[in-house]
A and B are shown apart, each in its own frame.
Chain A
Amino acid sequence: QKEVEQNSGPLSVPEGAIASLNCTYSDRGSQSFFWYRQYSGKSPELIMFIYSNGDKEDGRFTAQLNKASQYVSLLIRDSQPSDSATYLCASLDTGRRALTFGSGTRLQVQP
């Protein structure tokens, strides 16, 4: 079974610091990767998408993809208490055309 692995955390960082979240995936055929943010009791919302090797920046968020190492990461700069949530990494299963999710990393930003 194709898998996406994440450290469950919690990852605790002080306000204003950089939070680094990591994800590995088993399917070498995967080409599209997503980071979703999920607040407690709510549904996931997309914050970043990455398709090509390298970095992709959007505001305070940077996604990094290394296909050779099958590794995806998300950096959150100038972390805010409102960033406290669970971050889900997902890869597109090209066979089923459905997203496979990791178990999520809980991020706590301390004021």
Chain B
Amino acid sequence: DGGITQSPKYLFRKEGQNVTLSCEQNLNHDAMYWYRQDPGQGLRLIYYSQIVNDFQKGDIAEGYSVSREKKESFPLTVTSAQKNPTAFYLCASSISTGTGKNTEAFFGQGTRLTVV
């Protein structure tokens, strides 16, 4: 089945640690995105990538890093510089071209990160 797989589902981080969230898709989509969602809030864009080996900062990139070495994979690292990382992290992908429905973003199941 085609889709987006995020792992782990739950992640606990100690103060000062870096952690990496995995995102893999087999939809053959060019574009991939990372969003952060805080309780009662909408989704805020962290990083996005329209093509392999290229990515751009979103609205809240500070304290995060990404890589896009393969079309299928877009891991997100939450660094110790991110002062308030507890949130629900969502990875998404889309076809990327055009302006129609094919720009729909498909989401993974999310990773809930908690600082302990």
A residues with a Cβ closer than 8 A to B are 1, 4, 6, 8, 31-32, 34, 42-46, 49, 51, 88, 90, 92, 94, 96-104
Query: A30: nearest residue on chain B (CB-CB)?
Result: B99
Inside 8 A of B48's CB, which chain A residues have their CB?
96-98
- Whether A98 contacts B99 in the complex (CB less than 8 A), given A34-B104, A44-B43, comes out as no
Interface presence of B74 (CB below 8 A)? no
- Whether A92 contacts B42 in the complex (CB less than 8 A), given A43-B107, A97-B50, A98-B33, comes out as no
Within 8 A of A (CB), among B1-45: 31, 33, 35, 40-45
**How many residue pairs at the A-B interface have CB separations less than 8 Å?**
68
By Cβ-Cβ distance, the 6 closest A-B pairs, closest first, are A103-B42, A43-B107, A101-B42, A101-B43, A49-B101, A98-B48
Query: B101: nearest residue on chain A (CB-CB)?
Result: A49
Inside 8 A of A8's CB, which chain B residues have their CB?
40
B residues with a Cβ closer than 8 A to A are 31, 33, 35, 40-45, 48, 50, 56, 58-59, 90, 92, 96, 99-101, 103-110
The smallest C-beta distance from B80 to any residue of chain A, in angstroms, reads 26
Q: CB distance A49 to B31 under 8 Å?
A: no
Q: CB distance A44 to B107 under 8 Å?
A: yes
Q: CB distance B108 to A96 under 8 Å?
A: no
The smallest C-beta distance from A24 to any residue of chain B, in angstroms, reads 14
